[in-house]
Structure 1
Amino acid sequence: MRATIVTVGDEILIGQIVDTNSSFIAKSLDKIGIGVHEMLSITDDRKHILNTLSSLQDKVDVVIVTGGLGPTKDDITKKTFCDYFEDTLVVDEKVLAHVTQLIEGFFKRPITQINKDQALVPSRCEVLFNQVGTAPGMWMEKGNTVFVSLPGVPFEMKHLIENAVIPTLISRFDRPYIVHKTILTYGVGESLLAERIESWEDELPEYIKLAYLPSPGRVRLRLSARGTDENQLHEGIREQVEKLQLIISDCIVGYDDGETLEVVLGKLLAAKKITLATAESCTGGKIASLITSVPGSSAYFKGSVVSYATEVKETILGISPEVIREHSVVSAAVAEAMASQVQKILNTDYAIATTGNAGPDKGESEAEVGTVFIGIATPDGVFSEEFNFGQPREKVIDRAVIKGLEIIYKEITKNL
C-alpha cells in the first residue's frame, strides 16, 4: 500500500511553522506496512486543494490531509472536502455535544455559532471523534483511494492517528510487513564507511535495503526489509547486523533511531555509576545541553562551566593567566587545564572541555578559524586532541559537540 500526506496551510509555506505532522504520520504508517509515496504542502486555496485531491485519487491507496479544520474563515478544508465528494454538511450531534461541553463546561463561556460549526461534517463521511479537541477527523472513500482529513494541531492529529486512523487501516486492509533496524556509527565518514562495508552491502538479500543517513560526526545505517513473512524479515535483519558487527564494531555505538550518542553515553554512565562534567568555551554549553536532554541525566551529570570569556577561564576555572599567555586561549594546554579544573571543582570521574576558534574571526587566538581543542579528564589523567572542522561556524560547533561525546564514550569504554 502507498500513501500521500498533504499538509494544508500558508503558515507552512512561508516558513512560519515547521511541518512536524508529516514526519509523525509517515512513521506511524511505516510501522504498519504502508509506505509514504510523497509529502505535499499546499496553500489554503479551494482550487488548489481540489486539484490535489483529484490528482491523488486512484494513484495511491491512502491520502491523509492535515490542517484547515479550525473555526475561522481561512480554514476551508472541510468545506472543500465536502465539495470534492459532492456532499453536504450536516451537524453531527455527538460532536456538537462534545464541543458544547468543552466550551461551556471547561472554558466556562457561552458557545457561539462559530463553535457549533465545528460539528458540521459531510453527511456521508465516517466521523473520527476527536476527544482532545473540537475539530473531528473525517474518513471518506472515492474510487480506490481512502481520504482522511485531520486537524493540524499536532496533539489532536496524533491522538486521531493513534486511536482512529491506524486501527482502522489495520482492520480493513491487508498490508506487507516492514521491518527497520538502524545502526548508529560515530567517528567514520560516510565515504570511508561505505568502502569498509562495500562487500557486505553487495551481498544483502534483495528484500533488504540499506540507506546511509549522515549528519555531523555520525552516520546512521538503516536496514529496511519488506515482505509478507514477518519472522523471516526479523531473522534476515538480525543476521545482517551480526555480519556488520564483525566489520565495523569499532565505530558502532548503538542501535535504532532513539539511540543517539548522548542516550548511549547516558546509559553507560548510569550503569557504571560514572559522573561527568563539562567546561565549554567555543561550544557554548551545547555539550551539556545534549547530555541533559536525556531523562535521568541528573544521575551522572554534575554540571558545566561555560567559560566563553578568558576571564571566566581564569576566575571561575582557576586557569593560570601565564598558561593562557604562553600557549594562547585556543591550545591543548588550556583545553587540558579546563577539563582538569572542572573535574576537580565538580568532583566528577570524567570531564570534557572545548576551546577553539569557531569563526568567523580568530578572536583572541592566532589559531586558524575552525581549530578546536577537546580536553578529556579521566581518573588516570588528562589528554587533548586537536581538530580543524573548517567552516561555517555552525558546522564547527556541531562537530565539536559530537566529537567531544564520541571521545569520552570511547575513553570510558576503553577502560571498562
Structure 2
Amino acid sequence: MFFYVARQPILTQDKQLFGYELLFRDGPHNAFPNVTSDEATLRLVEGGEFNTGIRQLTDDHHAFVNFSEQAILEGLPRLLPVKGTVVELLETIQPTEQILAAVKALKADGYQIALDDFEYTPEWLAFLPYVDIIKVDFRALNIPQIRQLLSNLREFKGQYLAEKIETPAEFSQACKLGFSLFQGYFFARPEMIQRRALNASQTVCMQLLELSSQPNYEVNAIVALIERDISLTYKLLRFVNSALFKRQSEIQSIHQAIVRLGQSEVCRFTALMATATLAEGKPDELIKLSFVRARFMEQLALSNQAYGADSTSAFLTGLLSKLDAMMDNDLSAILEGVAISSEIKRTLIEGKGPLSFFLKVCEAIEASDWTKIELFAKRLRIEANTLVLYYHQAHIWVREVGRH
C-alpha cells in the first residue's frame, strides 16, 4: 500500500524555495481525488504525518496544508508539527467568532496562518493580526481588483502570496504589486511523491474505538490490541509526538503512551485511524517477523533481568526493527519524529546498547548461524537450544495472536 501526495513549490521573489503546498492524491496520477476536502485533508494528515512525517515531504521547508471550517474547529491542524506548518484556511470558510477564536489559539501555539484564495470583506479585518500570509488567485481577480484588495488591507503586516502565476509577465506584475511569495505553473506543476504506507487493520481500529469509548476504560486491553499491529504502534508513537502534546519524558512503552494520552485522545486517535479507511489484510512476512522479534526480545529481557534490558522497551524495539524494509526508507529518517526513548533509537539506528545485543541474537537465529548462537547463549548464561526454543515459542505466540 502506498501513500500519494502532490506538492507544488512556493518561491520567494528571487526564486528561492520557501515551501510546498501539499495536496492529497489517491493514486499515482496527479489528479484531485474523488473525496471531500475534509477527507482529503484527513488522509493527508494521517498519511503524511503518521507514516513519513510532513517535514520529510517538504525537505524541511514550510508545509502549506488546507483546512476546512470543520477541520479548524476540531483542532485537526494540531496533529501536525508547529515548526514549519502553515495552516491554510480554505476560501469557503466564513469569518465567524468561532473561527477567529480557533485562529487565535493556533497562532498562540506557534502555527503560521494563511488565508487561501482571499476575497475581501470587512469581517476579515479582525483576523489580520493573526495572519502571516494572504494568498491571492491571479486567475480569479484582474489587476485593478487586486490593487483594490491590497488597498483594503493596508493594515496587514504579513506577506502576500500570488497564486496561479503562469507567465513571466504575471510574475513581474505581482512583484511590482508587492507580492513576496509565488506559486503557479510558471515555476512548476505539482510534483507527485509516493511513500510506502503501513496497513492498519480496520477490524483492530474498530475494536480500539469501541474500547476507548467505553465508560469503564481498560488501558491494558487497548495496549494489548495496539501491540498486535505494527502500523498502529508506529502511528500511535507519532501521534503522541504531535503538537497536541507537550512531552515531559521519553516514551518507554505502548502502555506509557496510552496513559500519557488519556481516554479522550486515545479515542481521537482510533477514530482518525478508522476514518482514514486504512487497508485491511493479513500481515506479510516482514510484519510477522517483527512480531516474532518483539515477543522473543521481550521474553529474553524477562529471563535475563541482570542484563539490564527493560522488557517493554525490548518488545517495542523488536516490533519496529523491520520498519526500514516495510517503508523503503532509512530508519533514522523514519524514526526522526517518533516518540520513543533514545535507547530504542540508538539500538535501531546505531546498533548500540543492551537491546542491540538482543537484536543480534534474533538475526543469528534467523540466519541459523550456530557459531554466533552458541556464543550469544554463553553470554546470556543459557543453553543454545533454550535460546532457539524461546524463538520458536515466539512464533507460536504470533500464530495465536493471528487467530484472535
Q: TM-score, normalised by structure 1?
A: 0.25
Higher relative contact order (CA 8 A, sep 6+): 2
The answer to which structure has the higher strand fraction is 1
TM-score of the aligned structures, taking structure 2 as reference length: 0.25
Q: Over alpha carbons, which structure has the higher Rg?
A: 1
